[in-house]
Structure 1
Amino acid sequence: MLRWLLAVLGYFVYRFPGAIAGFLIGSLLDNISVRGKTFQTSFGSSKEQVTPADFELNLLSLASLVIKADGNVSQTELDYVRQYFVQAYGRDRANATFKVFNDVIKKREISAQSICSLLRQRTRYESRLQILHFLFSIGNADGSVSTSEVNEINRIAGFLGIYARDFESIKAMFFKNPDSAYKILEIDRTATTTEIKAAYRTMVKKYHPDKLQHMDEAHQKGGEEKFKKVQEAYGQLQKERGF
């Protein structure tokens, strides 16, 4: 297989580190092309299970759409994505993913609808919520999420099958305004104290970090950030309402 060939070649050029890098790159290329048609799984309609390499490349592709949404490719946002991938998958694996993306996928038109259709079929809803949080975090890496970035993320959320209230809840975590706490808890400003408490219990269950135990460390950390925002929103309303 290609992974072993590149591992051997990498060993002769850069010894053991080269072997590791070659194996990782070969694994990614094998996962992309083994089905007989390049990117059939990532961008087509194959019903086979998404491999880790497929997921990483799809996630990076969605990230690139958000980074380019406002027409300004921010180095801060690029650095955030790279750091996130290194934390989630390790430096060698992250570098291999970026190399495949830059060498192959980046040169093709990226279809958010095709990518999200695959992810929608093969990932849990709470995982897709975390993808949404990740995309907002990219936009916020340079200090604020632009309108064009919000629009692009909203488009992706629709393809991922994210409910409108869940989209608004996660969006509100990145915008400070008088209604933010209410939107995070997915309630209206007219909600009663009983309704606020009930909403908080519901959101705690929805965003509890334990629901992301199947994902890598960086995704779990993002889940903890969402959970913390829910707690902060509830605390704010407790203070405002005096209960």
Structure 2
Amino acid sequence: MAGLKWIGATLGWSLGGPIGAIIGLAIGSLGDAMSDKGNLLGSGNPNTQQKQEPKYRSRPNYRTQQQRRAQTTSGDFEVSLLILASVVIKADGKQDQRELDFVRNKFVELYGKDRANKAFKLFKKVSNQSISTRDVSMQIQQMMDHSSRLQLLHFLFGIAKADGMVTDEEEDQIHSISNYLGISNRDYSSIKAMFYNSVDNAYTILEIDKSASVDQIKKAYRNMAKKYHPDRVEHLGEEHKKGAEDKFKQVQKAYEFIQKERGF
């Protein structure tokens, strides 16, 4: 099998640490030449390639952490998503075909059929491994910006809901991942509410109480629209910017629902 030069951006921090070990093992089982690891998952654009830092530090200082988060690439996000998706799918003790189809279809939507097919082959190899959710999530928390981590969480809920319902085991696993990712309970509840039907969901999505005033509602909408705006993940590539539109639309729908309910 030829080298997997299909992600479109060179991997950065995910070449090291627990994620690098998982991907390296998966690539090895696919028969790829490990000598090609420098461009393992992306040929990259010569105008946008960034210096790779394969070594993972468990306790980076604040300045280094912020600098590295700015270097997260589409490839870093994609392999992080692959690994966490495999964890959520196995959370209830089985791999439902509808959830597997959701992952594959989402990759087709984001990256196109050819790249999605290759990504899914890697995904299946990753799924066969025993993965430390804490170690992987902590690496992501230290290296990936907040907006990208929120996008990961939204995708994981989408996987869990693909078979029609989110089981308790899946929700517990996603909540655990969210905590390791350093996502606040309010942000977690906001994204979770996008996948459940409840009269209070619109308020939860905007991270406010039902007793909020009109001015508070308007302010919350502005804040959430900024937080979930697709431009916040434009550094991951146009494909992920499009994927972030789902969250943004949910915020708009929540605000419109409250506007209609409260009559303003």
Q: Settle same-fold status: TM greater than 0.5.
A: yes
1:225 is displaced (CA, Å) by 1.0
Selected match of 2:56 from 46, 57, 68: 46
Tell whether the 8 Å contact from 2:110 to 2:243 is kept in structure 1 after alignment: no
Aligned partner of 1:62 among 84, 96, 99? 84
Specify every segment of 5 or more residues in structure 2 that has no aligned partner in the other structure, as ranges. 25-53, 58-67
Shift of 1:153: 0.6
> Which structure has the greater CA radius of gyration?
1
Deviation per residue, 1:29-56 (Å, 9 max, x gap): x979986999348799714866655543
The separation in 2 between residues aligned to 1:209 and 1:58, in whole angstroms, is 19
The structure 2 residue matched to 1:84, chosen from 106, 122, 136, is: 106
1:108 aligns with 2:120: no
Could you tell me how far 1:76 is from its partner in structure 2? 0.9
Which is worse superposed, 46-55 or 216-225? 46-55
Is the Cα contact below 8 Å between 1:50 and 1:122 reproduced in 2? yes
The one-letter amino acid paired with 1:183 is T
Partner of 2:3: 23
Where structure 1 has 5 or more consecutive residues not aligned to the other structure, the ranges are: 1-5, 7-21
Amino acid in structure 2 at the alignment position of 1:46? Y
Question: Partner residue of 2:44?
Answer: none
**Paired residue secondary structure (2:179):** helix
Cα distance change on mapping 1:238 and 1:123 into 2, 3 Å: same
Whether the 8 Å CA contact 1:117–1:159 is kept in 2: the answer is yes
User: Shift in Å at residue 148 of structure 1?
Assistant: 1.6
Q: TM-score, normalised by structure 2?
A: 0.72
Q: Is the 8 A contact 1:185 1:233 kept in 2?
A: yes
Contact 2:151 2:244 in 1 (8 A): yes
Q: Does the residue aligned with 1:73 lie in a helix, a strand or coil?
A: coil
Give the Cα–Cα distance (whole angstroms) in 2 for the partners of residues 31 and 188 of structure 1: 41
Q: Return the alpha-carbon distance in structure 1 between the equivalents of residues 206 and 17 of structure 2.
A: 46
Q: Structure 2 vs 1, CA of residues 181 and 55 (structure 1 numbering), >3 Å: closer, same or farther?
A: closer
Instruction: Say what the alpha-carbon RMSD is for the aligned residues.
Output: 3.2
- Judged with a 3 Å threshold, the aligned counterparts in structure 2 of structure 1 residues 141 and 219 are, in CA distance, closer, same or farther, namely farther
Deviations 1:175-230 (A, max 9, x none): 11121011000001111111111111111111111112122445323311111111
CA distance 1:145–1:38, change in 2 (3 Å): closer
Q: What is the aligned residue count?
A: 221
Asked if the contact 2:234/2:240 (under 8 Å) is kept, the reply is: no
Percent identity between matched residues is 49
- Decide whether the 8 Å contact of 2:160 with 2:167 is kept in 1: yes
- Once the two structures are overlaid, the 10-residue window that deviates more, 89-98 or 124-133, is 89-98
User: CA-to-partner distance for each residue in 1:6-30, whole Å, 9 max, x for gaps?
Assistant: 5xxxxxxxxxxxxxxx131799xx9
1:127 and 2:107 correspond = no
Higher helix share: 1
Looking at structure 2, the residues matched to 141 and 56 of structure 1 have their Cα atoms a distance apart, in angstroms, of 19
